[in-house]
Every structure is written in C-alpha cells, then in structure tokens.
C-alpha cells in the first residue's frame, strides 16, 4: 500500500509515504476504462446503504407506522444517487471553490476528476428524499430516519477513498507515531495527521454504531429522532476531526474552519429534530 517507510531522527516515530497520486486514484484500469477509488466509495456506499435500508423498512417490529415498502426504496435509490452527485458537486463549486470554477466553468460537470462536498451532497439527498416521500405519500421524517441510519456506510467508504487517494490530509504534526507524509507536492513533504482515517472512524464507524443502537432501542418509533442524532453526531464528529484536518478555509481565522461553520446548521437542525421527536405525541399504531 505504501512505497517506503521513512524513519525520523526519533526512531520511535515512523512515517508512511504514499505513492504518486496519479498511480493511486485508480482502483482498476482496463484499457481506456478507469475505475477510481472515489467512485467505488460512492457506489458501494449507496448499494450498502440501500441493502440496509430495505432491511430496516422490512422489520415491522422497529416501527409504529411502517414507512412504505422495501420495494419503494428501489426507486428512492435513484433519487438519492442523483441528489448526492448533483448536490455534492454544486456544493463543491459554490461552497469551497466558486472563484476557480466560475473562471473554469467547463470543469464543473467533470465530476470524474473528483471534488464533491459532503454538505452539498447532504442537501441534495435530503431534497430528493423529501420530494420522493411527498410524491408517494410516505412520512418524510421516517424516510429521513432510514436514510440517516444508513448514511455512515457511504461516509466511511468515501473517507477511506480520500485516504487512498492521498487527499484531504491532516495538519502538520510530529507528535504522533502514525503521522504520514503524503506524496502530493501541495502537502509539502512534511508529516501530517491521517485525518481521513479519523473521519472514517468517527463519522463512519462510531456514528453507525450509535445509530444502530438507537434503532434497536426503538428510535425509529419516534419520527425524526434518528435523523436528528445523525445531524448532531456528524456535526460533532466533523468539528472534532477539523482540529486535525488541514482546513479547506477559515470562517473565522484560527478559530472556526469552513467545515465547522457548515456543520453548525446540521447541529442546530439535529437538536430541533431530537426535541420534536420527544415532545410530539406518539404515532398511533
């Protein structure tokens, strides 16, 4: 996985140097067909989430009022996929690099070159869920709960793809033995936190375990609760990891990164959904 090991003057600290980015972003190359790790993260995240979502909806013991049928999730998968891709790309363009893309508009549709913003993808997926649920007379909050419960699948896989690609690296450090040197010249050839793995562990694995426990404890019987915990949990995990990730930019210099600023509305909405779930009258069976 790595080309070489580099030992610092302190022999207890070993850094890993990733291989050339151009050789690592492709999981498979067959003639002119190039399959990227980034694409695989999205594909298997969506498919894994769809499989788990069907199981949740099919388990009647988890619900007071079952939100539609597993078959309806098949159509929702297409809607959510479009929402994630379009929203993620527009989020990258509008939230993180508007100046660059407005100066190079022909690159906006070139999603195969990478560049997808999580918060934009979240907004796109949420809009797709709301419209689909409304059109099919399915409780919106319950559908948001289902998708929130499965979202950590995709988050985990995409963060692993970020790590393999050697992108979205962490801040400089010599304080941890697992610091890594990324081969991208923009990383400066200095040891950095592998913040992609921190995010995979917290936004992906930890958040999934928390939501899994809540679903087993009856959380889906309170519409909006799982979605609220997901929003608050992701915001907390992302804000924590931003302490180790190289900032995409600053909302408040040296105090609040752009990633943390974009996560604040998620936390506020999440708290609102949690309060609403506990304060509203239980649904009739």
Mean local confidence (pLDDT), 234-240? 97
Six-digit token string for 56: 């949740």
pLDDT tens for 113-132 read 667 888 888 899 999 999 99
For the chain, percent of residues with pLDDT exceeding 70: 85
Say what the pLDDT of residue 42 is. Answer: 80
Residue with tokens 């992906």: 204
pLDDT at 4 > cutoff 60: no
| Three-class DSSP category at 104 | coil
Say how many Å lie between the first and final Cα of the chain, rounded.
53
Listed residue (163, 180, 83) closest to 127, CA to CA: 83
pLDDT at 214 > cutoff 50: yes
pLDDT category of residue 146 using cuts at 50, 70 and 90: very high
Six-digit token string for 10: 């302190």
pLDDT at 28 > cutoff 60: no
From CA 214, how far away is CA 216, in angstroms rounded? Answer: 5
- DSSP H or E stretch at residue 5: strand 4-7
Cα distances (Å, whole numbers) of residue 244 to 93, 116, 153, 176, 193: 24, 20, 22, 12, 6
**Exposure of 65 in the CB half-sphere (CA atoms within 13 A):** 13
DSSP symbol at 28: E
Mean local confidence (pLDDT), 13-38? 51
Say what the pLDDT of residue 142 is. Answer: 92
Residue with tokens 């690592």: 24
Residue with tokens 């649920």: 133
Say what the pLDDT of residue 14 is. Answer: 39
pLDDT category of residue 31 using cuts at 50, 70 and 90: low
**Exposure of 126 in the CB half-sphere (CA atoms within 13 A):** 16
pLDDT top residue among 276 and 46: 276
Q: DSSP string of 154-197?
A: HHHHHHHHHHHHT-S-B-B-SSSTT-EE--SGGGTTS-B--HHH
Say what the pLDDT of residue 10 is. Answer: 41
Phi-psi region of 226 (alpha: psi -120 to 50; beta: other; left: phi over 0): alpha
Query: Mean pLDDT lowest for which of 33-47, 119-133, 239-253?
Result: 33-47
Q: Taking a C-beta distance cutoff of 8 angstroms, is the pair 92, 122 a contact?
A: no
From CA 45, how far away is CA 97, in angstroms rounded? Answer: 25
Listed residue (146, 163, 158, 149) closest to 121, CA to CA: 158
Q: Is 180 exposed, middle or buried (0-12, 13-18, 19+ CB in 10 A)?
A: buried
pLDDT tens for 69-84 read 888 888 888 898 899 8
**Exposure of 187 in the CB half-sphere (CA atoms within 13 A):** 27
Single pTM value for the model: 0.83
**Exposure of 246 in the CB half-sphere (CA atoms within 13 A):** 17
Say what the pLDDT of residue 195 is. Answer: 96
pLDDT at 271 > cutoff 70: yes
Say what the pLDDT of residue 21 is. Answer: 36
Residue with tokens 């200095």: 190
Query: Mean pLDDT lowest for which of 4-13, 63-72, 88-97, 236-245?
Result: 4-13
pLDDT at 22 > cutoff 50: no
pLDDT tens for 169-203 read 999 999 999 999 998 889 999 999 999 999 999 99
């Amino acid at each position: 996985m790595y080309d070489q090991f580099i030992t610092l003057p302190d022999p207890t600290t070993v850094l890993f140097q990733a291989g050339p980015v151009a050789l690592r972003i492709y999981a498979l190359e067959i003639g002119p067909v190039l399959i990227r790790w980034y694409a695989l993260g999205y594909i298997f995240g969506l498919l894994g989430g769809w499989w788990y979502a069907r199981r949740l909806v099919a388990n009647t013991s988890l619900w007071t009022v079952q939100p539609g049928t597993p078959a309806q999730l098949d159509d929702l998968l297409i809607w959510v996929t479009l929402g994630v891709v379009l929203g993620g790309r527009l989020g990258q363009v509008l939230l993180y690099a508007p100046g660059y893309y407005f100066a190079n508009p022909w690159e906006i549709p070139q999603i195969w070159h990478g560049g997808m913003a999580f918060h934009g993808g979240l907004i796109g997926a949420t809009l797709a869920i709301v419209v689909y649920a409304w059109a099919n007379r399915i409780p919106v909050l319950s559908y948001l709960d289902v998708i929130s419960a499965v979202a950590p699948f995709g988050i985990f896989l995409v963060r692993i793809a970020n790590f393999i690609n050697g992108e979205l690296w962490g801040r400089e450090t010599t304080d941890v033995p697992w610091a890594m040197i990324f081969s991208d010249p923009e990383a400066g050839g200095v040891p950095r936190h592998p913040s992609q793995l921190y995010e995979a562990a917290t936004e992906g694995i930890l958040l999934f375990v928390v939501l899994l426990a809540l679903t087993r404890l009856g959380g889906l019987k309170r519409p909006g609760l799982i979605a609220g915990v997901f929003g608050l949990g992701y915001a907390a995990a992302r804000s924590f990891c931003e302490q180790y990730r190289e900032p995409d930019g600053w909302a408040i210099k040296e105090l609040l990164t752009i990633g943390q600023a974009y996560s604040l509305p998620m936390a506020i909405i999440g708290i609102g959904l949690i309060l609403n779930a506990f304060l509203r009258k239980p649904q009739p069976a």
